[in-house]
Amino acid sequence: MAEAGSARRALLIVNEKARRGRAAGSDGEQLLVDSGIAVRRETCASREALATTIRRHADSVDLVVIGGGDGTLNAALPGLIDTGLPLGILPFGTANDLARTLAIPSEPATAAGIIAAGRTREIDVGEVNGVPFFNVASLGLSEKIARELTQDAKRKLGVLGYVLATIRTLAYMRPFSAEIVLGGNARKVRTIQIAVGNGRHYGGGLTIAEAAEIDDGFLDVYSIETDRLWKLALIYPAFRQGRLAVWNEIRTAACTEVEIHTRRPRPLNTDGEITTQTPACFRVLPRAIRVFAPEKVP
């Protein structure tokens, strides 16, 4: 840690492929320096190298600042858990769902000011098959959307890219069979998507559950059990508000652990990146990391 009276030392990693990464990365660095933080900026050639970079510099810095979107933050998560270093977020991505959950604005100067203020919040982390995630892990529709949504589309179209990818995916998406195991009880379902949320927001501003918090010690599960496009159009406002339990076509539950089994392995995405597959064992890691964030509003 920094000695008393000395500048805090930050490891800054910017995803220059993020929607605003290249343009805003240097500005973010200067804003941190202007706030009295000594910055060591590093680049990563790959997603896999990000956590390794954090571990390598753990003894020489006091905090890690990530400039990028949810996928970049997800890649950094194993390194943050291993080192215990607090996380500062410069939201340079497309959806920025973790930043939205934590009330961190996308304007670089304000986000840098939150890091400089030094107030941290302990938050939960979700985990599936040993892979940690901040916002949500899912299979089915959202996994197909993640494959449809190219980096180029995210850069050029922003959140509209998510909408177009969803429309394209719905044209060929069909229900699949799965088994959800909660509290030792197994329930067989026909579904087009199962999602397990840790945070509040995902998918470019959708809400996992109306009362979900990223530090409540619970995972929120939902399963969409209809394939009627007109019904999905009616349900869509509930996804914005997180009021899914009012629809019979959506199965919901809150838990600390859940398992999902399918007849054949199906890919899962964590925070928008394909990282593992079924069978899937989920659990919550309460208060696993610290993040620089505004004071939580009751």
Query: How do residues 134-157 score in pLDDT, each as one tens digit?
Result: 999 999 877 766 665 655 555 554
Interior angle at CA 129, CA 127 and CA 134, nearest 5? 25
Please indicate, yes or no, whether residues 211 and 104 belong to a single structural domain of this protein: no
Average pLDDT, the chain: 87
Give φ, ψ of 168 to 5 degrees: -65, -40
Looking at per-residue pLDDT, the higher value among 162 and 53 belongs to: 53
Residue 147 has, within 13 A of its CA and on its CB side, a CA count of 13
The predicted structure's pLDDT at residue 157: 47
Domain count, the chain: 2
The predicted structure's pLDDT at residue 73: 95
Contact 136, 242 (CB under 8 A): no
Which element (helix H / strand E) includes 146?
A: helix 141-148
Q: Residue 252 and residue 250: Cα distance in Å, rounded?
A: 6
Single out the residue in 72, 93, 118 at which a domain terminates: 118
The predicted structure's pLDDT at residue 38: 96
Looking at per-residue pLDDT, the higher value among 157 and 203 belongs to: 203
Q: What dihedral do alpha carbons 267, 269, 275, 278 form, nearest 10°?
A: -40
Single out the residue in 118, 153, 175 at which a domain terminates: 118
Report the predicted TM-score, pTM, of the whole model to 2 decimal places: 0.88
Please indicate, yes or no, whether residues 99 and 140 belong to a single structural domain of this protein: no
Q: Residue 206 and residue 70: Cα distance in Å, rounded?
A: 14
Query: How do residues 221-245 score in pLDDT, each as one tens digit?
Result: 999 998 777 777 788 889 889 999 8
The predicted structure's pLDDT at residue 296: 80
| β-strands 63-68, 38-42 pairing | unpaired
| pLDDT above 70 (res 163) | no
Provide the token pair at 98.
């973790």
Position 18 confidence tier, pLDDT thresholds 50, 70, 90:
low
Contact 180, 221 (CB under 8 A): yes
- Residue 94, domain extent: 9-118
Position 23 confidence tier, pLDDT thresholds 50, 70, 90:
low
Give φ, ψ of 185 to 5 degrees: -100, 130
Single out the residue in 118, 152, 172 at which a domain terminates: 118
| pLDDT above 70 (res 275) | yes
Candidate from 22-36, 66-80, 99-113 with smallest mean pLDDT? 22-36
The answer to whether residue 297 sits within a structural domain is no
Contact 230, 34 (CB under 8 A): no
Residue in the structure block whose two tokens are 């956590």: 51
Contact 282, 138 (CB under 8 A): no
Residue in the structure block whose two tokens are 């009330």: 103
Please indicate, yes or no, whether residues 102 and 143 belong to a single structural domain of this protein: no
The answer to whether residue 294 sits within a structural domain is no
Please indicate, yes or no, whether residues 90 and 43 belong to a single structural domain of this protein: yes
| β-strands 193-197, 136-140 pairing | antiparallel
Candidate from 13-27, 118-132, 210-224, 232-246 with smallest mean pLDDT? 13-27
The predicted structure's pLDDT at residue 189: 97
Decide: residue 46, CB within 10 A, 0-12 exposed, 13-18 middle, 19+ buried: exposed
Q: Residue 223 and residue 138: Cα distance in Å, rounded?
A: 10
The predicted structure's pLDDT at residue 145: 66
The predicted structure's pLDDT at residue 237: 86
Q: How many residues does the chain have?
A: 298
